[in-house]
Amino acid sequence: MQFSSAEVQTYLALVHDTNPIHTEIVPGQLVVQRICVEAAVEPIAVRYKNPIVVDEQITWHDHDHMQIKVIGADEQLKLVIDVGEV
């Protein structure tokens, strides 16, 4: 999974986010929303560990249906989502 610049800009326009950091860094909530929709889970808590840059390839892994870990192309932990059932 990855997020293009165009995709990030569309999201930013929808949520009225003008933070200049998001020209290169993907908004964490955009990542959380997409993963939770794909995994059909509800986020309970999110811990942001490291930024995800535009066009960076990320993977996510569901651990025991209780927690999702998102790993970046650099093998760094990017974020952790504690989840509940939808």
The CATH code of the domain that includes 45 is 3.10.129.10
- pLDDT for 58 equals 98
Helix (H, G, I), strand (E, B) or coil at 6: helix
pLDDT in tens, 44-85: 999 999 999 999 999 999 877 799 999 999 999 999 999 976
Q: Is the pLDDT of residue 86 over 70?
A: no
- pLDDT for 70 equals 97
Indicate the number of domains in the chain.
1
Burial of 14 (0-12, 13-18, 19+ CB in 10 A): exposed
Q: Which residues of 39-72 are buried (b: 16+ CB within 10 A; e: fewer)?
A: bebebeebeeeeebebebebebeeeeeebbbbbb
* pTM of this structure: 0.89
Residue numbers of the domain that contains 34: 5-85
pLDDT in tens, 42-55: 999 999 999 999 99
- Measuring CA to CA, which residue among 74, 23, 79 is closest to residue 47? 79
